[in-house]
A and B are shown apart, each in its own frame.
Chain A
Amino acid sequence: MTPVVEGRAIVQDYHVPGSMMRRAKTVRAVKGIDFSVQKGKTLAIVGESGSGKSTLARIVALIDAPSGGELLIDGHPVDIAAKRPGPEMRSKVQMVFQNPYGSLNPRQKIGDVLTEPLIINTDTPAAERRDRAKAMLQKVGLMPEHYNRYPHMFSGGQRQRIAIARALMLNPSLLVLDEPVSALDLSVQAQVLNLLADLQDEMGLTYVFVSHDLSVVRYIADEVMVISKGEAVEQASRDQIFSNPTHPYTQQLFAATPVTDLDAIRARVARRKAARESAAV
């Protein structure tokens, strides 16, 4: 089966211009990454800030053109530097950003947020645009009467639902999610993750999910790619990565993730008590 999205040796360079005191230099943010995602599956890209995971996400979402390598959507090579993607290609791939406070225009009503992709990419009549936006609001767990409200009237979790609704208005097959829950509280995070899982089942969506939180990745991902300094250091199925991480960097990430395991807490409390008693003596 043709993968929904495939990357072959993707490279991204950023040029840092020189000044009087400094020479110009080139930073290679992504150093030749291969990946592919099948329909209805979720690929999680895990790494620290500066690892190049967001750079890769922007390439997959057709926002930035890679400096090297090939990106295939539905088996067709796409090169946005050579040819601007048309409405059809834009409809296939959509993106949800990390911060729902920054990604919605405060002066735009929710209805306008949701209908704008249709105005730009399709010639749907106004009445139908409105109906589809209202239906989409219900689908993401909001109400049709939210259509005429402004973003500041919503909480963080509700705003992220709006951002997801906007991304889904064009019936995309691929959704690129860049840290979609890391700005949200724990309980709201659970709601949004549940929503994403439901939408994936219902609409057969394919996700590329960027995150630094391994516990979220464990819940949502089918395949996991761990990247560090622009290189994919480990790529495997979720179960394989979580049961047997082989690369030292992956192991380091696991070691840094806080554990809420009772035995670990018990051990820590005992350690502290011992340290305090020896200090008191």
Chain B
Amino acid sequence: MALLTIRNLTVKFATATGSFTAVDGIDVSVDRSEVLAIVGESGSGKSVSMLAVMGLLPDTATVTADEMTYDGQDMLAMTTAQRRRLIGREITMIFQEPVASLNPSFTVGFQIEEVLRINLGLSGKAARERALDLFQSVGIPEPEEKLKSYPHQMSGGQCQRVMIAIAIASNPRLLIADEPTTALDVTIQKQILDLLMSLQEDYGMGLILITHDMGVVAETADRVVVQYKGRKMEEADVLSLFENPQSAYTRALLSALPEHATGDRLPTVADFFQEEAVR
């Protein structure tokens, strides 16, 4: 059974020049312990659709959907209080810029203990012990020392590990990762992806991975949704997507990978749409 089901999600933003549709009738569903990748360029609405699920969009956004259910509960009919019990506990999210996601004025230890106290109702001492456990499970070296550090004293990769520790603190059943490795180096990216995948397997979480990097998709996803300009272009399991992409846009994305360059020029998405138009 699906853990999260969204049908016909539309997000519109009110702007000075009228309404702008960022997400246009997207269907997404993710199963328990499944890794779903949502791929697209900037402006494809891939982050906005997940922020809509989390309820993190500003007031200028209008979210409508035919269905939005989490584990059989109708999220559209929920009161704010009910929603808050879900978000941040059962469904958690990590973001692209790990350093910017943490508060620079408090130690990382304080920030993770705060989550544990508020969401799980742990006392100070119990929260500290659990924080230490979590830091160990996400592979932060010298966890006791690091709990006392401020975000600026840690590297980008370590900050992302802290964010992951905070996100898994409440044993969530669904983790949404919005470009978790885009700001990181390849070697650190590999470590973080390996960590996410092993946590996903250990905890049996559903994982939604938002990315623009086809390499990341190839290394992590079970199933892939390709989005372009707020619309879903294609949905397939990872192997069929790479083996036999159905939509022109997916083919364009795949051929724009520099390692697929044949000859002197890299094919671009624009080239592809031109080709389609001629045909």
Q: Do these two chains interact?
A: yes
Cβ of A215 and Cβ of B268 under 8 Å apart? no
The smallest beta-carbon distance between B206 and chain A, in angstroms, is 14
Q: Is residue B79 within 8 Å, beta carbon to beta carbon, of the partner chain?
A: no
Given that A48-B187, A187-B41, A275-B201 are contacting pairs, would A259 and B238 also be in contact in the complex, using a CB cutoff of 8 Å? no
Inter-chain contacts of B186 with A (CB < 8 A): 48, 212-214, 253, 256-258
Residue on A nearest B190 in the bound complex, by CB: A256
Beyond contacts A194-B268, A212-B186: 19 other A-B pairs, Cβ-Cβ < 8 A, are: A49-B185, A186-B213, A186-B214, A187-B268, A189-B256, A190-B266, A190-B267, A197-B264, A218-B259, A252-B187, A255-B190, A258-B190, A258-B215, A259-B219, A260-B218, A264-B218, A265-B218, A265-B238, A276-B33
Cβ of A187 and Cβ of B269 under 8 Å apart? yes
Residue on A nearest B255 in the bound complex, by CB: A190
Given that A48-B185, A258-B218 are contacting pairs, would A187 and B252 also be in contact in the complex, using a CB cutoff of 8 Å? yes
Encode B239-279 as 1/0 by CB contact (under 8 A) with A.
Answer: 10011000000001110111111001111111000000000
Residue on A nearest B214 in the bound complex, by CB: A260
Inter-chain contacts of A259 with B (CB < 8 A): 215, 218-219
Inter-chain contacts of B189 with A (CB < 8 A): 256, 258
Q: Is residue B222 within 8 Å, beta carbon to beta carbon, of the partner chain?
A: yes
Given that A262-B239, A265-B242 are contacting pairs, would A253 and B259 also be in contact in the complex, using a CB cutoff of 8 Å? no
Inter-chain contacts of A219 with B (CB < 8 A): 258-259, 261, 266
Q: Is residue B137 within 8 Å, beta carbon to beta carbon, of the partner chain?
A: no
Q: What residues make up the interface of B, taking CB atoms closer than 8 Å to A? A: 33, 41-42, 156, 185-190, 201, 212-216, 218-219, 222, 237-239, 242-243, 252-254, 256-261, 264-270
Interface hits, A212-269 → B, CB 8 Å: 212-216, 218-219, 252-253, 255-262, 264-266, 268-269
Q: Is residue A100 within 8 Å, beta carbon to beta carbon, of the partner chain?
A: no
A-B contact pairs, 20 of them (CB 8 A): A48-B185, A49-B185, A186-B212, A186-B253, A187-B269, A189-B258, A190-B256, A190-B258, A190-B269, A197-B265, A218-B261, A219-B259, A256-B187, A258-B219, A259-B218, A260-B214, A260-B215, A260-B242, A260-B254, A279-B201
Inter-chain contacts of B237 with A (CB < 8 A): 269
Residue on A nearest B261 in the bound complex, by CB: A219
Q: What residues make up the interface of A, taking CB atoms closer than 8 Å to B? A: 48-49, 156, 185-191, 193-194, 197, 212-216, 218-219, 252-253, 255-262, 264-266, 268-269, 272, 275-276, 279
How far apart are the CA atoms of A264 and B214 in the complex, in Å?
A: 13
Cβ of A258 and Cβ of B242 under 8 Å apart? no
The smallest beta-carbon distance between A204 and chain B, in angstroms, is 16
Of all A-B residue pairs in the complex, the 8 with the closest CB atoms, nearest first, are A258-B215, A187-B269, A190-B266, A256-B190, A219-B258, A190-B256, A185-B41, A215-B258
Inter-chain contacts of B219 with A (CB < 8 A): 258-259, 268
Between B186, B190, B238, B260, the greatest number of chain A beta carbons within 10 A of the residue's beta carbon is seen for B186
How far apart are the CA atoms of A269 and B189 in the complex, in Å?
A: 20
The smallest beta-carbon distance between B248 and chain A, in angstroms, is 12
Residue on A nearest B202 in the bound complex, by CB: A279
Inter-chain contacts of B238 with A (CB < 8 A): 265, 269
The smallest beta-carbon distance between B176 and chain A, in angstroms, is 20
Cβ of A269 and Cβ of B256 under 8 Å apart? no
Residue on B nearest A269 in the bound complex, by CB: B239
